[in-house]
Amino acid sequence: MDAGNIYFIPDFVFEDGGISNKILIVICVDDVESVIINALPTSQDKCIPVDEPSHGCTRNHVFSFFMFENGRIVGEEIDESDFAFRKNTFVIVRDNVRMLKISSLLQYHGQGFKHIGCLATTELNRLIKCIRGSKHLARNVKRKLETVLGE
């Protein structure tokens, strides 16, 4: 697992017991502690408090999110063709950015875990900057990002 990798996870089981197909984006990897900071983005825009969000970061005193605009090329698929999300896709910092042990992730979701692409370095850096600048990021995740990224 490397930063920027994008995975498809069928039948992802949420903490509340809900099940849904999910995309997982690896934000950074701490090989020492075997944890990743990841984002589980959503295409559901009903929780986005902006009428017409645009590609990139939106931060205010209430909300922080990064939107990948549908159809916009943001990386490469495994076969090195262009990768774009099919729907507007949101990383909501408070809800979607988590730290997980790699072993736990693979134990619960390893069967259908499929590497489907990788974000371009510029897109990954923009996403990380957005996440790090959010006051809604959990403290333990913020500390881990600072440790792994050396800042």
For 130-142, how does the pLDDT look when each residue is reduced to its tens digit (9 = 90+)? 998 888 888 888 8
Share of the chain above pLDDT 90, in %: 29
Does the pTM surpass 0.95? The reply is no
Residue 103: the pLDDT is 83
**Rounded-to-integer distance, Cα 76 and Cα 74, Å:** 7
Q: Can you give the chain as a three-state secondary structure string?
A: CCCCEEEEEEEEECCCCCEEEEEEEEEEEECCCCEEEEECCECCHHHCCCCCCCCEEEECCCCEEEEECCCCEEEEECCCCEEECCCCEEEEHHHHEEEEEHHHHHHHHCCCCEEEEEECHHHHHHHHHHHHCCCCCCHHHHHHHHHHHCC
**Rounded-to-integer distance, Cα 12 and Cα 141, Å:** 21
pLDDT in tens, 48-57: 666 667 899 9
pLDDT of residue 151 exceeding 70, the answer is no
Residue 18: the pLDDT is 85
